[in-house]
Amino acid sequence: MKQSIISLQDQPAELEKLYRKNKAAFRQEFTAIYEQIKDQPWAEFWHERLSYDAESITWGSFKEWRFIVIAALIAGIYAKFPVIFDLKEDLFYPRNIGFIVFPFLTAYFAWKNQLSEKIIAILAVILGILLLYINVLPADETSDTWVLVCMHLPILLWAILGYSFVGKSSISGRLAFLRYNGDTVIMGGLLLIGGGILTGVTLGLFGLVGLNIGEFYMNYIAVFGLAAAPLVATQLTQSNPQLINKVSPVIARIFSPLVLVMLVIYLGAIVLSGKDPYNDREFLLLFNVLLIGVMGLIFFSVAETSAQEKSRSAIWVLTLLSWVTVVVNAVALSAIAFRISTWGFTPNRTAVLGINILMLIHLLRVSKTLIQVIRDKESISKIGKSIVDYLPIYVIWVILVVFMFPLIFGF
């Protein structure tokens, strides 16, 4: 999009269309190149326009909300399939939980970004194949392979969403996608909190007049509300980037040092408590969940830092956090390697081993870049590049788990 912005500088109408097509991406790309073009009148105009803090919320067009409402209704109906078709919930939802969210967001960005009919058809075919695959795969709740496929398939759907968001692959586009995820989680969380308060008030008021609508409300109203939340959050963040742009960096800035302190104390507590991740399977599982959560925070913080934050203290915190996480990762990796050498390979151990190796390599790459930025050997933009360049490797691993593990370890 950078080249498009520059090439359209003498075509105001086309530049406006480009902005309206994807406001968040336009803002990000323009900010990245502003220092190079800031002496030009058209650049100053757009800088002031994009920097202006609107006093009111832009709700978007009627067409956008019509799309959101229709998509949310379809998602809600799909979520009610176990009731409509008398399906087993404990088999339907593990298989299809990702399809209640990601295909509809993918359709939103495919429509919003005006992807070509060919690309839309390819995405639809891929989603259809995945939907058919997961629902014809022999279901066995006691099968580690089946559980792993159900856990990893939403990640693959998330990657497809990323393609519809980014369009043509680019570093800035992938960073914008990571920021979109963080922003949408924050906005979605606020919507869910508001929805929870509304639910409590509604059930309480009806209870006061002797009407118990709890079962009906949760089975129908709440389900459709939950299905709509990601779509509504997406529409609000895309129409009003200013809503979250100032909140996300603050959250990243506050929680990064807090998590750093927590991790250091936690590592010390492991030693003092005598907990053994090498022989305690449940503890190792929680250890890896913690690791993935911290990795997510690092990615989110790096995405925000590379876009807006140039404070060296923030870079130092991220550097220390990444290196402490490397230590945590190394402990987890050594523990799973010990379990494999002692008891052999299983689907779960292989999956955990693979993701730990990938995360360790990724963390080392990011940590190295952060140190180079501190030493002024690299620009701050390289931090984001070190994150997003590696993302396709995770997608390849997820594809292997989803499609190859059932063949390797049996259904």
User: Could you report the per-residue pLDDT of 40-53, keeping only the tens digit for each?
Assistant: 888 888 877 776 65
Question: Does any domain span residue 134?
Answer: yes
Residue 108 lies in a domain: yes
pLDDT at 399: 96
Residues 300 and 226 in one domain: no
Taking each helix axis from N to C end, the angle separating 171-208 and 381-388, rounded to the nearest 10 degrees, works out to: 80
pLDDT of residue 55: 53
**Tell me, what's the pLDDT at 361?**
93
Pair 190, 322 in one domain: no
Structure-token match 């063949």, residue found: 407
The last residue of a domain, from among 226, 242, 258: 242
Q: Is 169 in the same domain as 258?
A: no
Burial of 54 (0-12, 13-18, 19+ CB in 10 A): exposed
HSE value, Cβ hemisphere, 13 Å, CA-based, for 247: 14
Integer CA distances (angstroms), 396 to 71, 133, 174, in order: 29, 18, 16
Residue 218 lies in a domain: yes
In a domain, 56, yes or no: no
Residue 5 pLDDT: 85
User: Which residue ranges in the chain fall short of pLDDT 50?
Assistant: 309
Which of 12, 29, 51 lies at the terminal end of a domain, its last residue?
A: 51
- Percentages (nearest 5) of helix, strand, coil residues in the chain: 80, 0, 20
Under 8 Å between Cβ of 347 and 151 = no
CB distance 229 to 192 below 8 Å: yes
What is the structure's pLDDT at 312? 73
Ranges of H-type helices in 137-280: 144-166, 171-208, 214-216, 223-239, 241-245, 247-273
Pair 70, 187 in one domain: yes
Q: Is residue 294 part of a domain?
A: yes
Q: What percent of the chain has pLDDT over 90?
A: 36
Show which of 221, 242, 263 is a domain's final residue. 242
Look at the pTM and tell me if it is higher than 0.85. no
Q: Are 365 and 307 members of one domain?
A: yes
- Residues 171, 162: Cα–Cα separation, whole Å: 12
The tens digit of pLDDT for each residue in 214-260 reads 889 988 899 999 999 999 999 988 887 767 766 767 777 788 888 88
10 and 107: one domain?
no
User: Domain for residue 324, yes or no?
Assistant: yes
pLDDT tens for 18-37 read 887 777 667 767 877 877 78
Phi, psi of 80 (to 5 degrees): -95, 10
pLDDT attached to residue 196 = 93
The number of residues in the chain equals 411
Q: Do 253 and 106 share a domain, yes or no?
A: no
Total domains in the chain come to 3
Does the residue 57 lie in any domain?
A: no
Same domain, 278 and 329: yes
- Full domain range(s) for residue 145: 62-242
Whether 77 and 45 map to the same domain: the answer is no
Same domain for 173 and 128: yes
Residues 174, 280, single domain; the answer is no
In the structure, how many helices (H) and strands (E) does the chain have? Answer: 21, 0
Residue 276 lies in a domain: yes
Residues 205, 301, single domain; the answer is: no
255: which 2 tokens? 């929680």
